[in-house]
Amino acid sequence: MGKIIAIANQKGGVGKTTTSINLAASLGALEKKVLLIDADPQANASSGLGIDVENVEIGTYQIIEHSHTAEEGVIPTSAPNVWIIPAHIDLVAIEIELVDKEKREYMLKQALNTIKEKYDYIIIDCAPSLGLLTLNALTAADSVVIPIQCEYFALEGLGKLLNTIKSVQKIHNPGLDIEGLLLTMYDTRLRLSNQVVEEVQKHFNNMVFSTIIQRNVKLSEAPSFGESIINYDATSKGAANYLNLAEEIIKKNTNN
């Protein structure tokens, strides 16, 4: 099957990497074969799954640059059924290096064509920007999950991202779907959180996942141990939320 899902939002701190790691781990726990691609120079998805990013020799940079095959960049993670192509700080340079390349938006897509069928899901953790790296991810992806933080400025910048997705659909990837908008960092005690949920659901209706990711201490702690929430504390609210999200995505893709 090999469905490629990009996790994207140019705003930082909305739960992109948390979602990438824990959605991948939850899909793995539900016995799907998953590849996570760290396409963020901060490499948090890599370190969050126990990868020593200082010693990454073949990562996303080499894959996009086509100096190595995607297959060569794949390494196992601490999460069952989850593999990763890790990132390294050198990924910062890729934006500059790709500028003069022909078909520069398609470099990641071409690299993944060779391994797409080996996995049930390929999750791409995008950088918090709308630069060439994110453009490569959106061009390679079948769909995109957009995490939205339940905070005051939640919808700020969303229009810009949706416009970028529209232009990618028009120019580079007509098959790109929006998998769904994912509400993150929800705090039941805050009236504001509830207002944001209502507003997003009112505006975007069926595009919003039923699953809402709640604020959860264990979710914040897990990456410092190099583990997903499923490995770190399978009984936590965070683990339950991400397993629900994985089930929702599997169900949606089985019915399609």
Percent of the chain with pLDDT over 70: 99
Beta strands in 66-216 (DSSP E): 75-76, 82-85, 121-126, 143-149, 177-186, 208-214
pLDDT tens figures, 109-133: 999 999 999 999 999 999 998 889 9
Average pLDDT in the 175-198 region?
92
pLDDT in tens, 166-178: 999 999 999 999 9
CA distance 132 to 144: 16
- pLDDT, tens only, 54-79: 988 999 999 999 999 999 999 999 89
pTM of the model: 0.95
pLDDT band per the 50, 70, 90 thresholds, residue 179 = very high
Give the per-residue SS3 of 55-79. Answer: HCCCCHHHHHCCCCCHHHHCEECCC
- φ, ψ of residue 101 to 5 degrees: the values are -75, 145
Half-sphere exposure at residue 82, Cβ-oriented, CA atoms within 13 angstroms: 32
10 Å CB burial of residue 11 (0-12, 13-18, 19+) is: buried
Task: Give the pLDDT score at 217.
Answer: 93
Closest CA to 165 of 135, 188, 197: 135
Q: How confident is the model at residue 256 (pLDDT cuts 50, 70, 90)?
A: low
Average pLDDT over residues 152-164: 85
| pLDDT at residue 1 tops 70 | no
Which candidate, 15, 244, 37, places its Cα nearest to that of 121?
37
Strand ranges (E), the chain: 3-7, 34-39, 75-76, 82-85, 121-126, 143-149, 177-186, 208-214
Tokens in use for 169? 């659909």
